[in-house]
Amino acid sequence: MKEENPRRVGIMGGTFDPIHYGHLVAAEAARAAFGLSEVLFVPNRLPPHKKDYPVSDPKHRYLMTVLATITNPFFEVSRIELDREGYSYTIDTLRALSAQFGPAVELYFISGADAIAEILTWKDVDELLGLCYFIAVTRPGYKLSVKLGHLQQKYSHKVFTVEVPALAISSTDIRKRVMEGTPLKYLLPEAVENYIIKNKLYR
Ligand code: NAP
Tell whether the model's pLDDT for residue 5 goes beyond 90. no
What residue type is 48 in one-letter code? Answer: P
The CATH number for 60's domain is: 3.40.50.620
Number of folded domains that form the chain: 1
Q: Report the DSSP beta bridge partners of residue 163.
A: 138
Q: Residue 106: inside a domain, yes or no?
A: yes
Q: Residue 72: inside a domain, yes or no?
A: yes
pLDDT confidence bin for 3, thresholds 50/70/90: low
Q: Do the beta carbons of residue 27 and residue 56 sit within 8 Å?
A: no
In this structure, the number of other CB atoms found within 10 A of the CB of residue 199 comes to 15
Element containing residue 81 per DSSP (H, E):
none
Tell whether the model's pLDDT for residue 1 goes beyond 60. no
Residue 158 Cα to ligand 1 middle (Å): 18
Q: Residue 152: inside a domain, yes or no?
A: yes
Q: Is the CB–ligand 1 distance for residue 23 below 6 Å? A: yes
How high is the pLDDT of residue 145?
A: 83
Q: Which atom of ligand 1 is nearest to the CA of 47?
A: 34
Residue 85 Cα to ligand 1 middle (Å): 19
Tell whether the model's pLDDT for residue 34 goes beyond 80. yes
Q: Residue 157: inside a domain, yes or no?
A: yes
Tell whether the model's pLDDT for residue 29 goes beyond 80. yes
End-to-end CA distance of the chain: 55
Q: Residue 70: inside a domain, yes or no?
A: yes
**Per-residue pLDDT tens over the stretch 138-167:** 987 788 788 899 998 999 999 999 999 888
Q: Residue 14: inside a domain, yes or no?
A: yes
Q: Residue 145: inside a domain, yes or no?
A: yes
Q: Residue 42: inside a domain, yes or no?
A: yes
Domain range for residue 54?
7-170
pLDDT confidence bin for 54, thresholds 50/70/90: confident
Interstrand relation of 75-77 and 105-112 (parallel, antiparallel or unpaired): unpaired
3-state secondary structure of 41: strand
The mean pLDDT of the chain is: 94
How high is the pLDDT of residue 2?
A: 58
Residue 7 Cα to ligand 1 middle (Å): 25
**Per-residue pLDDT tens over the stretch 84-140:** 999 999 999 999 999 999 999 999 999 999 999 999 999 999 999 999 999 999 987
**Among the listed residues 53, 51, 67, 73, the one whose alpha carbon sits nearest the alpha carbon of residue 18:** 67
